[in-house]
Amino acid sequence: MQQMMCPRCGAQMNHHAEKVEFSSVRDGLTATDRTLDGILQNVYACPNCGGIEMRRVS
Amino acid sequence: MSTPVLSIPVILGTTRHGHMSGYAAQFMRDQIAKRNGVETELIDIGTMAIPTTDAGEAIKDAAFSFAMMRADALVLVVPEYNHGYPGFLKHVLDTNLKEYIHKAVGICGVSAGGFGGTRVIQNLLPVMRELGLVTIFWDVNFSSVQNVFDAAGTLLDQSFLTRSEKFLNELVWMAKVLRHGRENVALA
């Protein structure tokens, strides 16, 4: 898994969840997205500044 | 942003005027504020100008999203309307997602009758789960709320001091554990 650096403070973020985001957006869905009926997202938290980021699973 | 202090905002989940839920929300905020190492604020969704013609990220309220990102746990104070939750509360909650994930939530139900919002709490549980929040097993049920507070909002029923203490003990524990997990425990 590619590391996520915090865009706010530059620290390495912790990947602590995968979450399906149910959305009306249907463009560009991957096979996994279609299987799960939503967009699969990785969720990260920054142990340094508390920032939160979500990045679509590629 | 990330400090040893826990952030536990209270969300007042109704837009109606003249409601007793406001007194319940203020009471919960005051109980949280008494705790060392915890900061809180009262978020009144009735003051939020969120459009109702769209949904989700497109209509995010920046201040609300920042408060949710900063939060380690949430307290929802919610009146029961026809056995359900206020529609605008759901609309507001649905504007965020990543901000909630792996954070603790406790729910306080409010009703004029004797059930203390038990049905609105039950109806909110699957919503909390889908938003990525982690529910605690304590609730606070403000049954016959008109007898819990007087017309000025003064607490009349002192048992709520004990009830809220048990609720907040569990919520703070869960908030600490989940914060450690979010920041330090990687998904397998």
Whether the predicted pLDDT of B1 surpasses 60: no
In order of A28, B81, B146, B154, B182, the CA distances from B157 in angstroms are 56, 23, 11, 9, 38
Mean pLDDT of B23-32: 98
User: B10: buried, middle or exposed (CB in 10 Å: 19+, 13-18, 0-12)?
Assistant: buried
Does A15 sit within 8 Å of B99, measured CB to CB? no
For residue A50, give the amino acid letter: G
Does A14 sit within 8 Å of B186, measured CB to CB? yes
Name the closest residue on chain B to residue A11, using Cα atoms.
B183
Residues with Cβ within 8 Å of residue B87, at least 6 apart in sequence: none
Quick one: pLDDT at residue B44? Answer: 97
Does A45 sit within 8 Å of B1, measured CB to CB? no
Instruction: State in Å, rounded, how far the first CA of chain B is from the last one.
Output: 26
Cβ-Cβ pairs closer than 8 A, A with B, add up to 61
> pTM score, two decimals?
0.94
- Nearest by CB to B132, from A19, A24, A51: name it: A19
Residues of A in contact with B56 (CB under 8 A): 23
Residues of B in contact with A51 (CB under 8 A): 1-2, 69
Structure tokens at B115: 């059930």
- On whether the CB atoms of residues B2 and A46 are closer than 8 A, the answer is yes
ipTM confidence: 0.89
Residues with Cβ within 8 Å of residue A14, at least 6 apart in sequence: A44, A45, A46, A47, B182, B183, B184, B185, B186
pLDDT digits (tens, 9 = 90+) for B110-154: 999 999 999 999 999 999 999 999 999 999 999 999 999 999 999
pLDDT digits (tens, 9 = 90+) for B33-84: 999 999 999 999 999 999 998 888 889 999 999 999 999 999 999 999 999 9
Does B1 sit within 8 Å of A8, measured CB to CB? yes
- Nearest by CB to B187, from A18, A53, A54: name it: A18
Q: How far apart are the CA of B41 and the nearest CA of chain A, in angstroms? A: 18
